[in-house]
Chain A
């Protein structure tokens, strides 16, 4: 059974902000299906009582003191920007509010 359909890839591409062409969707669908089929093997491991590890090492409580460090100069901050206006990053019109 195919785990990842073309429609699913289209949905994933939308979520990932990737404007994929039709032929890319087909190609990725086949490949992702194969990969997901292979990685799904993790389900074979009996791990109900095993705690998940989100980090490589079990460390905790690393904080910084509330101290100001130098910021970038605005020209540095904006130096890589595709477009700038009034010392701000100029971006295309935003469709609407999210979250």
Chain B
């Protein structure tokens, strides 16, 4: 593995801008790495080799002409295959969209192109971002670079694995119930779920509209902040986008000082169902925060216990409607159109053939929860729980500046272990879901390896709405202290592929 691959995105950006290395060399190094490890990892659904090199050369030319570009110009990025990209297929990990070439770029895609980032390709995911393991992809599972027999998390598992395997220094993901933070945690990297509305959903293939949030993956906190800043901010194409400045995330990541900060430990997270090694690393992280000058208190969020059931009503309800457009009429797969069948029959046959089991489960669950007669008891009640969870956060953030918890109850589980046990799978998102329901910000940063299995554990840092910078500030402080302790990044401990 060449040294270029180990560099941070921030370093690569500086080297490229200073013409000490060309963007084309950087792209080629990553493409070579992809060619080398993809047979083992399967992080990518599509590799954009020729276009990536062309894009990199164009950046090099602009720099040679003396143009002043952004800090990540020429740095490679991999996109979760749920963002639309012109010139590249976009499948959402589903057979129903196999080969679909979108005629437009997602806002996230477009902004990163404009910032000069080089798109390496599209990464694997649980079909339509529904899952916590990337096993629900129609194109085969992605493998965790720490242990190829284990899941890389999900739904953005291709993006987390690609960054953890040094196939890309940066990647994008989406977080609906933990789909960025959980994969980041189990692959030992940084993953951030911005404030809902802080990053545009335009061109993000919807799973659950009121929860979906695009966010960055990186191997360190500063890189994540740089990527976050590059694609975030108000977008007139997304009604739910917040018309406010992007919080000063890069500045916060560089600051990394938490003296006097008030940190709350969520009382409700921990105990039964949590792996001892995860809890041990989490407690050490809390001690570390205290040693860095933070004031740590325990905070109770009584409604968080109902977040998981509320989520599994709200998200499927929205998805049942969002996925109705995949009907074989305008784009995508069409099955059974033999000239005798009706449109209705062709729709039903196509959807049965094109969607995987988890997607079907959630569509039917959502259809059930929205049905007249059940609406109030299920969807309506879940929305009230959502209000209560937001109130719990409000109360907590009156007492403390950030809340912390383990990102996930366990480390990466073996591929296949929970594949046909939806309830067990859903537990992976226990600690991440409340933030999605309330719309606030949260990050996962590596906090060590569990003793039982030697696999990465993530620390989740939650901040109020538009307090994204606090996640980076605390995350960077923890990262710095731990890397000093470890003598380098956690990923350095990962086995070579």
Contacts and interface: CB of A to CB of B under 8 A. Distances in A.
B351 A17 contact: yes
A42 B313 contact: yes
A52 B342 contact: no
A28 B196 CA distance: 32
Nearest to B391: A50
A36 B348 CA distance: 24
A77 B384 contact: no
Q: How large is the interface on A (under 10, 10 to 19, 20 to 34, 35 or more residues)?
A: 35 or more
B197 A45 contact: no
17 contacts: A4-B368, A15-B367, A17-B348, A17-B351, A18-B363, A19-B349, A38-B312, A40-B309, A40-B378, A42-B385, A45-B381, A56-B240, A72-B103, A80-B103, A81-B330, A93-B342, A95-B344
Interface stretch (B282-290, B331-339, B406-414, B475-483): B331-339
B496 interface: no
- The residue among A13, A64, A82 with the most chain B CB atoms within 10 A of its own CB is A82
A19 B364 contact: no
What's the dominant secondary structure at chain B's contact region?
A: helix
Interface in A33-84: 34-36, 38-45, 47, 50-57, 59, 62, 64, 72, 76-77, 79-83
A42 to B, nearest CB: 5
B344 A17 contact: yes
Interface residues of B, number: 72
Contact of B343 (A43, A76, A91): A91
Contacts of B331: 80-82
B367 to A, nearest CB: 5
Interface of B: 100-101, 103-104, 196-197, 210-211, 236, 239-240, 242-243, 303, 306, 309-310, 312-313, 320, 324, 327-334, 337, 339, 341-349, 351-352, 355, 357, 360-361, 363-365, 367-369, 371, 377-378, 380-388, 390, 422-423, 436-439, 465
Q: For A18, A28, A54, A89, which residue has the most chain B Cβ atoms within 10 angstroms? A: A18
Q: Which 5 A-B pairs have the closest CB atoms?
A: A56-B439, A80-B331, A52-B383, A47-B384, A82-B334
B210 to A, nearest CB: 5
A28 B360 contact: yes
Given A42-B385, A55-B210, A57-B197, A32 B344 contact: no
Given A12-B368, A39-B312, A80-B101, A89 B197 contact: no
B361 A18 contact: no
Contact of A28 (B313, B361, B383): B361
Contacts of A2: none
A39 B210 contact: no
B381 A82 contact: no
B103 A76 contact: yes
Interface of A: 4, 8-9, 12-21, 24, 28, 31-32, 34-36, 38-45, 47, 50-57, 59, 62, 64, 72, 76-77, 79-83, 89, 91-95
B399 to A, nearest CB: 21
B379 to A, nearest CB: 9
B388 A35 contact: no
A92 B342 contact: yes
B210 A18 contact: no
A35 B355 contact: no
B332 A80 contact: yes
B100 A35 contact: no
Kindly name the residue among B104, B344, B465 whose own CB sees the greatest number of chain A CB atoms within 10 A: B344
A92 B381 contact: no
Contact of B355 (A18, A38, A52, A81): A18
Contact of A16 (B303, B364, B437): B364
A2 B228 CA distance: 46
Given A18-B364, A19-B345, A40-B378, 5 more contacts: A9-B364, A28-B361, A34-B423, A39-B309, A57-B465
Nearest to B379: A52
Nearest to B358: A31
Contact of B385 (A38, A45, A57): A45
A80 B387 CA distance: 40
Contact of B334 (A4, A54, A83): A83
Which of B196, B309, B437 has most chain A Cβ within 10 Å?
Answer: B309
Contacts of A81: 330-331
A40 to B, nearest CB: 7
Contact of A47 (B329, B355, B388): B388
Contacts of B351: 16-19
B240 A59 contact: yes
Contacts of B310: 39, 42
Contacts of B385: 42, 45, 47
